[in-house]
Amino acid sequence: MKRAAAVVLILLLTACAREPDGTRRQFFALGTLVDITVMAPPEKADAALRDAEQALLEFERRWRAWNEGQLAVLNGQLTEGQPVILAENIASGIRQARQLERESRGLFNPAIGKLVELWGFHQEERKAEPPPSDADIQVWLDAAPSLNDLVAENGKFVSRKPQLWLDMGAFAKGLAVNAAIEVLKKHGITDAIVNAGGDLKVLGTHGERRWRIGVRDPRGPGILAAIEVSGPVSVFTSGDYERWFEWEGRRYHHLLDPRSGYPAMQTTSLTVLHEDAARADAAATALFVAGDDWPLIARSMGIEAVMRVPAEGPVEITPAMQAYINWEDRQPEYRVIKP
């Protein structure tokens, strides 16, 4: 989105509204529209909402991998081989990401920034240009950078590979949503939803009923299913419809398989539930990239509730997910798969 248009939209959307049964605030952060509802009257909710918004804006500055973000500066130093001291909040995020990378067997790879850049998905609006050459992709594959290449030396971190470029795009939203929920809890809020463009975490319930989350249909308008949950739980989806381009009749999207260097083509959308939003975010990306092998990665990442829309064939859901799904009158053909 063009910056001027975004600013106008922000002005229109930075709004705090009284819901019939809660207080709601909407604003732009983390590259998307964030929508928070707190089940409390404005007297109790307003300060919590304001602080949660501040926490998310702060996150955005910290974790942006390109342009002027804190992570971008760090990336520049690391590629030059400089030893860096990491602020504790960045270091703890990197530690969590490293653990999740291992559990995902490298399919969630937060060191993937240079490959993302080769494909042009680091730009807000991708230029019309062809996909990268196989030779360029092969150079990245030969280097195979990973968070394991970020090593501690004399109290500082150094990168062992110039190709290592941190891109927390698959996971930072989860960290941020966790942080916003913690802010709300500190204010004594027990029932709330923090929704960052469809990826979200809920606490408690929506009044008398569970929170109802629509999961988008990856190939049509409207929603595929409603997931009904009470918190604390996070719902994260990775979909091939979020960022993509077409070149010579072929479609290429932003979820890259670190084994091939190409977009992962066996899945169109994958949704997971987990209490920890950071784990849910990383897992949605990793299980998407895993294609048909997703049950294996779900096991190793400790994810039980999954819904996958494969590129071909019926929707797949785990028994744990089945318990939360309400198809209403739209029930598609589906299979239940135990991870």
| Cβ-based nearer residue to Mg ion, 23 or 234 | 234
Rounded CA-CA distance 268/253 in Å is: 10
In sequence order, what E strands does the chain have? 15-19, 22-29, 32-38, 150-153, 156-159, 192-196, 199-203, 211-216, 223-229, 233-239, 244-247, 250-253, 267-274, 305-310, 315-317, 325-326, 334-336
* 285 interacts with Mg ion by CB under 5 A: yes
| Cβ-based nearer residue to Mg ion, 53 or 281 | 281
Least Å distance, CB 289 to ligand AMP, is 5
SS3 87: coil
* 238 interacts with ligand AMP by CB under 6 A: yes
Structure tokens at 95: 């530690």
Least Å distance, CB 297 to ligand AMP, is 11
Least Å distance, CB 277 to ligand AMP, is 11
* 167 interacts with ligand AMP by CB under 6 A: yes
Rounded CA-CA distance 274/302 in Å is: 9
b/e per residue 125-158 (b: at least 16 CB within 10 A): eeeeeebbeeeebeebeebbbbbebbeeeeeebb
Out of 118, 170, 229, 325, the only residue in the binding site for ligand AMP (CB under 6 A) is 170
167, interface contact from ligand AMP, Mg ion, none, CB < 5-8 Å by kind: ligand AMP
Burial zone of 332 (CB within 10 Å; 0-12 exposed, 13-18 middle, 19+ buried): exposed
> Which residues share a beta bridge with 19?
22
In sequence order, what E strands does 50-107 have? none
Our measurement of the distance from residue 13's CA atom to the centroid of its chain's CA atoms, rounded to an integer in Å, reads 22
Rounded CA-CA distance 52/182 in Å is: 9
Residue nearest ligand AMP by beta-carbon distance: 169
Phi first, then psi: give them for residue 317, nearest 5 degrees.
Answer: -135, 150
| Cβ-based nearer residue to ligand AMP, 48 or 164 | 164
The window from 6-14, 147-155, 167-175, 305-313 that contacts ligand AMP (CB under 6 A) reads 167-175
* 170 interacts with Mg ion by CB under 5 A: yes
* 281 interacts with Mg ion by CB under 5 A: yes
* 108 interacts with ligand AMP by CB under 6 A: yes
307, interface contact from ligand AMP, Mg ion, none, CB < 5-8 Å by kind: none
Residue nearest Mg ion by beta-carbon distance: 285
Count of residues that bind Mg ion according to CB under 5 A: 4
193, interface contact from ligand AMP, Mg ion, none, CB < 5-8 Å by kind: none
Phi first, then psi: give them for residue 138, nearest 5 degrees.
Answer: -65, -35
Binding footprint of Mg ion on the chain (CB under 5 A)? 170, 281, 284-285
Binding footprint of ligand AMP on the chain (CB under 6 A)? 107-110, 112, 116, 121, 167, 169-170, 238, 242-243, 254-256, 258, 281, 284-285, 289
